[in-house]
Amino acid sequence: MNPYSTLVDFILTHIKPEDILQFRASEDMHDYFYLLLDKEKNGTATQEEIDIINDFMNVEHIMRLAKAKAKQYAHQ
């Protein structure tokens, strides 16, 4: 059993697939993420900032899975 799949299934039972497909992170969120990535590349990121980058990556992975599954639901 994959914990990501379990979470995605939960999300899809509580949010309409169309809403998931339309979800986009805010411009501020994108800017913050890229700022942290630049700090990581330059070697100036703190451990807390690296942890936040990892959190962003995990959320991105979950949303990609949710959107892929939402497309399947939307086309049924």
Q: What pLDDT, on a 0 to 100 scale, did the predictor assign at position 53?
A: 97
Are the beta carbons of 40 and 49 closer than 8 angstroms? yes
Parent domain of 31: 3-74
Domains held by the chain: number? 1
Contacts of 71 (CB under 8 A, 6+ apart): 17, 21
Tell which residue, 27, 26, 47, 25, has the closest CA to residue 36.
47
pTM to 2 decimal places = 0.83
Q: What pLDDT, on a 0 to 100 scale, did the predictor assign at position 5?
A: 87
Tell which residue, 65, 76, 55, has the closest CA to residue 21.
65
- Tell me the backbone φ, ψ of residue 26, rounded to 5 degrees: -70, 160
Per-residue pLDDT reduced to its tens digit, 12-70: 899 999 999 999 999 999 999 999 999 999 999 999 999 999 999 999 999 999 999 99
